Amino acid sequence: MKPNFDIDLVVIDGVASTVCERVVSDKPFCSLVEFSTAQSTGFPALLLVAPLSGHYAVLLTDMIIGLLPRFRVYVTDWTNASEVPVSAGPFGLERNIDYVLDFIGVAGEGAHVVALCQGGVPALAAAAMLAAQQRESDIGSLTLIGGPIDPMVNPTRVVNLLRERDIPWFEDNVLRRVSSSFPGYGRSVYPGYLQLASLMAYLNRHLMQQGELSYKIYSDDGLDPVGHSFFTLFTSVMDLPGEFFLDNIAAVFHGRDICCRSLSWHGETVDPGRITTIPLMTIEGEDDDIAAPGQTSAAHGLCPLIPESARRRLLVAKCGHFSLFHGSKWRSEILPELIRFLESHGPGSDTDKGNNRRTDFS
């Protein structure tokens, strides 16, 4: 079952404020959910592009709570592909970029875009296409967190596993057809139970090696370990559209298409080199064994026309993949740096808005 966000309160300036959650755009494969408070009027908008990686967007609960005291937060809440009728058509990487572009429009001109993990490539591609259309002002800034922009800069075990098999092998051995008991009957999907099996193997390795996840499981450092335990968030999985699963492996991990300028969007070449005015921040974890250091910051080399004054590269010491967006490391080291970057660029910056609000990072 799809878990609920259940974010009821957030602390702003030492005062608990009620959180309003509403769907502002409902598409077959994704709903765009807005989180706001009574104080949000006049706050800058922020689009959080959750990864389409098998987890539900509820995994990003700590991120949403941390950002709410400063922003109106819009989150891509991806739908379990088994719940989407075949009549809705296929969903591949190109349509993923379509959704991100549409959601940028819903969030409003100048919205900050923060993309996590596999959300990084479609977010960067969307920014590149806006630049090609001379619409860079649609985005206030772009932040990429722990994403495989160029997985071959520093390949991990995950990268090597995805590259050692060809696409037909994944199509024949990994994808399944949705059964008649679901609305998506007949749709090709990467099933959640296989994703869960992979996650359990990953968790078991961390437990044996005393890695990042062992500490999060034994001593949950999330803001709400009772209502939103890390283990529950980590194991809340869904089926992925089969087309996207294959497209992502082929374009991101096999072909490195966005790095090689061979990624296309409706017949147009996706070239991040056209981006000139969108501020760019990359955030990586020193101990990230999914998207290792260098994979995300490779985006800077793809965008040579962005001024150095509009760039920020953050490498977080002793930080694994999941600590980039969940737990004490996220709250104490990453969130403050992210907010400083966002508030120093684009609409909603301190210089433009005179913003003197204080954020409680605890």
295 within domain boundaries: yes
4 within domain boundaries: no
3-state SS class at 23: strand
242 within domain boundaries: yes
Amino acid at 30: C
Closest CA to 310 of 271, 270, 282: 282
361 within domain boundaries: no
Rounded CA separation 117/293 (Å): 12
Render pLDDT for 84-110 as a digit per residue (tens, 0 to 9).
999 999 999 999 999 999 999 999 999
pLDDT at 136 over 50: yes
Domain of 60, in residue numbers: 9-353
226 within domain boundaries: yes
Render pLDDT for 34-92 as a digit per residue (tens, 0 to 9).
999 998 888 999 999 999 999 999 999 999 999 999 999 999 999 999 999 999 999 99
Backbone angles phi, psi at 75, to 5 degrees: -125, 135
Residue 184 has what pLDDT?
Answer: 98
Average pLDDT value over all residues in the chain: 93
Task: Report residue 108 CA to chain centroid gap.
Answer: 19
Residues in contact with 310: Cβ distance below 8 Å, sequence separation at least 6, in sequence order: 277, 278, 279, 280, 345
359 within domain boundaries: no
CATH of the domain at 85: 3.40.50.1820
Tell the residue number behind the tokens 């349509």, with chain if given: 95
Residue 346 has what pLDDT?
Answer: 62
Rounded CA separation 314/342 (Å): 13
- In order, the DSSP letters of 83-143 are GS-GGG----HHHHHHHHHHHHHHH-TTEEEEEEGGGHHHHHHHHHHHHHTT-GGGEEEEE
Question: Based on the structure, what is the number of domains in the chain?
Answer: 1
Tokens (6 digits) for 15: 């005062």
Rounded CA separation 120/281 (Å): 12
Task: Report residue 161 CA to chain centroid gap.
Answer: 22
Task: List the Cα angle 6/104/262 in 5-degree steps.
Answer: 120
Render pLDDT for 178-232 as a digit per residue (tens, 0 to 9).
999 999 999 999 999 999 999 999 999 999 999 999 999 999 999 889 889 999 9
Residue 361 has what pLDDT?
Answer: 30
pLDDT at 351 over 80: no
Residue 42 has what pLDDT?
Answer: 85
Rounded CA separation 303/139 (Å): 15
Which pLDDT band holds residue 352 (cuts at 50, 70, 90)? very low
- In order, the DSSP letters of 281-316 are EEEEETT-SSS-TTTTTHHHHH-TTS-GGGEEEEEE
Helix (H) or strand (E) holding 11: strand 9-12
Which pLDDT band holds residue 357 (cuts at 50, 70, 90)? very low
358 within domain boundaries: no
Q: Are 154 and 185 in contact (CB under 8 A)?
A: no
